[in-house]
Chain A
Amino acid sequence: MLKSPSAALLLGAALLVAGPALAAGDAGKGERVYKKCAACHQVGEGAKNRVGPELNDLIGRTAGSVDGFKYSKAMTEAGAGGLVWDETTLDAYLESPRTAIKGTRMAFPGIKEADDRADVIAYLATFSKQAAAPAPAETKTAEATPAPAPTAAVPAADAAVPTHGVFHLGRAATADEIAAWDIDVRPDGVGLPEGRGTAADGEVLFTERCASCHGDFGEGAGRWPVLAGGRDTLKADRPEKTIGSYWPYLSTVYDYVRRAMPFGDARSLSDDEVYAITAYLLYLNDVVTDDSFELSRENFTSVKLPNEENFIADDRSAEPHYAGKVEPCMKDCKAEVKITMRARVLDVTPEAGKENEGTTKVD
């Protein structure tokens, strides 16, 4: 399949790891595994390019060759070098995308279990005219391990009862356990880890790990969140709420990226990388203007976001319609009633909505 040395080099390392024999996949199970992919890729009738290219006829397709999809340079070059997707190449790519094709835009971390990869490839093959070559009839190596037998109950009289609290339930958490989970960061800097990173470093990371959803400049792809711009739009008809235009605290950026990003590969960034990405987001939002700016635990709380002052406490109960708690009118409350607005979106209403179609679409 690999027709040129350069493509072989690109995939070489990963292919070696892939092992000698690939297990035959189960397309049914693969459909379930595919859910991980469906956030970005469509497959089946009517599939379109979204964050990732559509995956119909993937088996036998030259890498980086779907019309109208903007691939990374690395993926286009791999295709030009002769990389064709088949059971073997897909297996290697899906195990660790960024190892197999360095520079791919696909932010997905990969599928660890060989069986899961085989299953999802088998599923994708059902949408390919050139189905994957049938694999040798081998049984899967990793069968589901039987559930461990329940551990014998401690004789009640022998069980040690802790002394804390009222009910004496639970056990003391260890310092390492707390450190593993307690990663939240507050606006005053409490919770920030040791570390540092520059906006320039962040740009490289952002392009590789974030841009497939958020756009190269934080402008957002499709319906994924816009991260930059929107300054002075909060009073506008269509406000654009971004880190620069809306978020009150920088600590929220660090905390959230560290706990939940990239989407589908949480906790994969190092503390320094999160500093670098946060610094780059400040740069994209013109909060800092020099891409050599280095953000660190030491200077973190000196950075303020522009909209911090515009958050206020909940004062709903002071609104005119609530404040008086007035007994409402029951009779002849208004002179006339006119319809001022009618439902604008119909196609979201299945069944009953179809009957209404044509009569209710008024704008």
Chain B
Amino acid sequence: MTEKTETKDETVATSRRRFLTGSLAAGGAAMAAGLATAGPAAAQGESVITEIQDWNRYLGDGVVSQPYGVPSRYEANVVRRDVEWLTASRESSVSFTPLHELDGIITPNGLCFERHHAGIAEIEPSQHRLMINGLVDTPLVFTMQDLMRFPRENHVYFLECAANSGMEWRGAQLNGCQYTHGMVHCVVYTGVKLKHLLGEAGVKTNAKWILPEGADSAAMTRSIPLEKALDDCLVAFKMNGEALRPEQGYPVRLVVPGWEGNMWVKWLRRLEVGDQPWHQREETSKYTDLLANGKARRFTWVMDVKSVITSPSPQAPIRHGRGRAVISGLAWSGNGKIKRVDVSIDGGRNWTTARLDGPSLDKALHRFYLDIDWDGSELLLQSRAIDEAGFVQPTKNELRAARGENSIYHNNGIQTWYVKADGTVENVEVS
């Protein structure tokens, strides 16, 4: 009995080792061997079908082999990436969501892009406080436990950095929608309405603005009009059902639906109420949009209507040859829902309305598909979104004509992917 068990253990260990050191090579060898020794019993067809595979014979890992589950190791390439030359340090930098590998409208927590201004603050929830002060009747301090005793709500919202696609103002530069459009994510938030917290302190009648502040060493601050704060802002402590990730502001962050990501202050520790904006660093020297005439727009909060084809795209070429192909992409708007997405395969000469699929939610990502028969010829793929307010996604040239090339922020121009006959894809711009 013991002997038998040991033998089996050894076999399992061996097979697992083989599994780990490259099942492709092993599978190929097995197939070759199968063909070479084709005897009367040899089956015709793919060895993955005709031969019993390890996972079909032996036991796999038991429960809790991963107490917190992780993706299959065959998905190891589905990760956030950064562009090292963009920033001086990784503590004040950005990483990008791998949009080309994802589907549906929800971004997994570990893949949500990051933008920190002083690294990831690590805060024990029992040590965290949220203060409300300024033009209120009673300045208050809340613990995390206090916050969780307010009535809770769940909402799906996209969060886009104002600088998403910012490197593309001067023309096609980065080869992959992860880099050109990956500063966006969309999750379901659980939290409490900001208006409940402000109401608890009692907002004075002359109040017009709030100033949220982070607890990290950047002490991030932004001025937000009181009207927005009382409308749909949330103070959120969960994303996709679990606690916020540290890099997304654990234990609590502000949610400012449809508005630029910089305002969604992470590690939220204070809300000041005032009668004027504060003109903080992130709303003067940054997150203002310089125009060609030397003027700069400020308080450009709403994220405009935008879309991008996520597959095919430079990091997700067509590998299957001609025939049926799925064009898939994302659309979103800070003005509300997406009404329609059109797709062009000829660089914008002709358009076909794509199919929106899955939930269509206010200020959330929308998924679209266009199913085509690809004849193997070159394509110039574009997508163009229209939101429920009637705004149509502009071309990049239209944006440049209105703003010049130095705005950095709010580049929502139509993206073009050049699909070549071999299925590879490149970021280009067209006339």
Residues of A with Cβ closer than 8 Å to B? Answer: 35, 38-40, 51, 164-167, 169-173, 177-178, 181-182, 184-188, 213, 222-224, 234-235, 239, 241, 243, 246-249, 251-252, 255-256, 259-260, 263-264, 266, 310-317, 319-322, 325-326, 328-334, 336-346, 348-353, 355-356, 359-360
A-B contact pairs, 19 of them (CB 8 A): A51-B88, A173-B140, A181-B270, A246-B290, A252-B280, A259-B219, A263-B92, A313-B298, A320-B401, A325-B389, A331-B350, A332-B349, A333-B349, A337-B346, A337-B380, A337-B430, A341-B428, A345-B175, A355-B424
C-alpha spacing A348/B428, complex, angstroms: 16
Interface residues of B in 379-431 (CB under 8 A from A): 380, 384, 386, 389-392, 394-395, 398-399, 401-403, 406, 410, 418, 424, 426-431
What number of residue pairs across chains A and B have CB atoms under 8 A from each other? Answer: 293
Q: Are B392 and A328 in contact (CB under 8 A)?
A: yes
Residues on B with C-beta less than 8 A from A320 are 398, 401-402
Q: Are B276 and A321 in contact (CB under 8 A)?
A: no
Q: Are B350 and A349 in contact (CB under 8 A)?
A: no
C-alpha spacing A51/B88, complex, angstroms: 9
C-alpha spacing A213/B60, complex, angstroms: 52
Stretch at the interface among B43-51, B102-110, B239-247, B314-322: B314-322
Q: Are A169 and B142 in contact (CB under 8 A)?
A: yes
C-alpha spacing A332/B347, complex, angstroms: 11
Q: Are A222 and B88 in contact (CB under 8 A)?
A: yes
Residues on A with C-beta less than 8 A from B139 are 172-173, 178
Residues on B with C-beta less than 8 A from A185 are 278
Residues on B with C-beta less than 8 A from A166 are 196, 199-200
The 10 closest A-B pairs by CB, nearest first: A165-B200, A337-B347, A325-B390, A39-B89, A321-B394, A223-B88, A341-B429, A343-B427, A170-B140, A173-B139
C-alpha spacing A341/B170, complex, angstroms: 10
Residues on A with C-beta less than 8 A from B213 are 181, 184
> Of A164, A165, A331, A339, which contacts B428 at CB under 8 A?
A339
Q: Counting CB contacts under 8 A, is B293 at the interface?
A: yes
Q: Are A349 and B88 in contact (CB under 8 A)?
A: no
Q: Taking chain B's interface residues, is the majority helix, strand, or loop, or is none over half, making it mixed?
A: loop
Given A169-B146, A186-B276: 13 more A-B contacts, CB < 8 Å? A39-B91, A181-B213, A182-B133, A213-B88, A234-B294, A249-B279, A259-B219, A260-B219, A263-B89, A313-B297, A325-B390, A326-B392, A349-B175
Stretch at the interface among B230-238, B299-307, B357-365: B299-307
Q: Are B118 and A266 in contact (CB under 8 A)?
A: yes
Provided the pairs A186-B279, A333-B348, A353-B314 are in contact, do residues A173 and B131 lie with their beta carbons within 8 angstroms?
A: yes
> Of A40, A177, A330, A339, which contacts B429 at CB under 8 A?
A339
Residue of B with least CB distance to A265? B217
Residues on A with C-beta less than 8 A from B81 are 348, 350
C-alpha spacing A281/B108, complex, angstroms: 44
B10 to chain A, nearest CB (A): 32
C-alpha spacing A292/B174, complex, angstroms: 48
Residues on A with C-beta less than 8 A from B403 are 319
